């Protein structure tokens, strides 16, 4: 039975990944290590918390001792590092925590894995570390072109700079020690369990509450959107089939301007909500409020995913039209989850369940 150490598994993508893996395989063990910052929510994992192949450890990835203890007590085969401070706006206000978690935390994981994964002859076969990175490390594109794996790194926000630094550290372990690792760089994700500070859940939540929909600048910044389950599938495939030492871009050729996203959500909500739902009265483009642009706001991201498609056979299964409908329906069916986040109730979940 292979054992996965998943860091940041209580966050948006990490929890979707854990659910995906435990639904797909019944012969793997998952240890989820998460510091439970404001972005970590164990309610995301309610449906599998009693699964005997799953365990949770509350720990900071910067905490050498706790991470080492996990390696000492378990034969870890794979580390997948999702743990990060992940919100660009927060990084502009407070870069330090981004440097700590995203860079130093990565070094701690690499160092301990390096220590436990070697025998007398080098690295034990089958072990692998996967760094979950982002297309934001490449900086911004003009009107055309795509990010390739060989595009030079040119991060602009403290968030993307910290992710690029972590990528460089992972690369240095690959080059210096022949450390068994992959780096994946994915475009913007959307789907269930995303914290409502990010564009799509924020717009859904504000629409439902009749609040303004803040849109940065002229609203024409472009992101390349991917349904989170397709990201989970890609990571699973890179773990199993990715060539050691390689970087893989993950994206679905699905570029959309922010303002298009906002309008699609307004239209989709109006289609889905019951005819008599009172909220339909106020959900319209009248809620849109253009606000001062984000500092250093990258204009356009777009991924070329041909390498992962050609080498590994990955492709995105969920088109945007389908994915956004599923996502909106999920938020409508899980208003309790959303409420628990907006009123801070989710923070009590850990102490109620685990302490
Ligand atoms: N969201 C996206 O669109 C996107 C796209 C590409 C890559 N990524 C990358 O994917 C990863 C996950 O992103 P997300 O959107 O799920 O983020 P998230 O903010 O929803 O979750 C991050 C998780 O990490 C945990 N965490 C934070 N600091 C920690 C620490 N020091 N020790 C242990 N746990 C800690 C948090 O509690 C939370 O559960 C990140 O590395 C991010 O850079 C995200």
Ligand 1: lining residues by beta carbon, under 6 Å: 7-8, 10-14, 34-37, 39-40, 60-62, 82-86, 101, 105, 132, 134, 163, 186, 188-189, 195
* Fold that domain 2-190+227-253+297-317 belongs to in CATH: Rossmann fold (3.40.50)
* Cα dihedral 10→14→15→21 (10° resolution): -140
Residues carrying an active site annotation: 135-136, 159
Pocket test for ligand 1, best of 83, 91, 346 (most atoms within 8 A of CB): 83
What was the pLDDT predicted at 208?
95
Q: Compute CA distances 6 → 179, 249, 305, 331, whole Å.
A: 18, 20, 24, 25
pLDDT in tens, 113-140: 999 999 988 999 999 999 999 999 999 9
Write out pLDDT tens, residues 28-57: 999 999 999 999 999 999 999 999 999 999
The per-residue pLDDT for 344 is 86
Domain ranges of the chain: 2-190+227-253+297-317
| pLDDT single digits (tens) 195-221 | 998 999 999 999 999 999 999 999 999
Nearest to 190 by CA among 223, 165, 143, 148: 223
For ligand 1, atom 7: residue with the closest CA: 134
Pocket test for ligand 1, best of 20, 66, 82 (most atoms within 8 A of CB): 82
Locate the ligand 1 atom nearest the alpha carbon of residue 13 and give its number: 16
Ligand 1 centroid to residue 82 C-alpha, Å: 5
How high does pLDDT run on average in the chain? 96
pLDDT mean over 156-174? 98
Opening angle at CA 245, ends 125 and 110, nearest 5:
75
Tokens of 180: 């068994």
Inter-helix orientation angle 320-333/199-209, to 10°: 50
Please say whether the dihedral angle defined by the alpha carbons of residues 308, 309, 314 and 318, taken in this order, is positive or negative. Answer: positive
Neighbours of 75 (CB within 10 A): 12
């Amino acid at each position: 039975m292979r054992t996965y150490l998943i860091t940041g598994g209580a966050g948006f993508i990490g929890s979707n990944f854990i659910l995906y893996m435990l639904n797909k395989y019944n012969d793997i063990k998952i240890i989820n290590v998460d510091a439970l910052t404001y972005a970590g929510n164990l309610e995301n994992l309610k449906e599998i918390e009693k699964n005997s192949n799953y365990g949770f450890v509350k720990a900071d990835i910067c905490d050498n001792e706790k991470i080492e203890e996990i390696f000492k007590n378990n034969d870890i085969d794979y580390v997948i590092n999702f743990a990060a401070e992940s919100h660009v706006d927060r990084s502009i206000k407070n870069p330090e925590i981004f440097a700590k978690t995203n860079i130093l935390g990565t070094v701690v994981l690499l160092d301990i894995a390096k220590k436990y994964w070697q025998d007398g002859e080098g690295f034990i076969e089958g072990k692998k570390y996967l760094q979950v990175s982002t297309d934001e490390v490449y900086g911004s594109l003009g009107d055309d072109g795509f990010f390739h794996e060989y595009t030079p790194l040119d991060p602009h926000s403290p968030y993307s700079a910290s992710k690029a630094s972590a990528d460089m550290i992972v690369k240095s372990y690959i080059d210096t020690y022949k450390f068994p690792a992959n780096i994946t760089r994915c475009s913007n994700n959307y789907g269930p369990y995303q914290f409502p500070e990010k564009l799509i859940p924020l717009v859904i939540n504000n629409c439902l509450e009749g609040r303004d929909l803040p849109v940065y600048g002229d609203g024409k910044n472009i992101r390349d959107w991917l349904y989170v389950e397709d990201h989970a599938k890609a990571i699973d495939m890179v773990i199993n089939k990715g060539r050691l030492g390689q970087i893989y871009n993950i994206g679905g050729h699905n570029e959309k301007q922010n303002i298009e996203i906002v309008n699609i959500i307004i239209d989709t909500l109006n289609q889905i909500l019951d005819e008599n739902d009172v909220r339909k009265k106020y959900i319209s483009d009248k809620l849109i409020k253009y606000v001062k642009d984000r500092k250093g706001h990258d204009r356009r991201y777009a991924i070329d995913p041909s390498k992962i498609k050609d080498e590994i056979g990955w492709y995105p299964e969920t088109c945007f039209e389908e994915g956004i409908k599923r996502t909106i329906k999920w938020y409508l069916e899980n208003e309790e989850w959303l409420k628990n986040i907006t009123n801070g109730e989710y923070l009590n979940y850990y102490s109620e369940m685990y302490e």
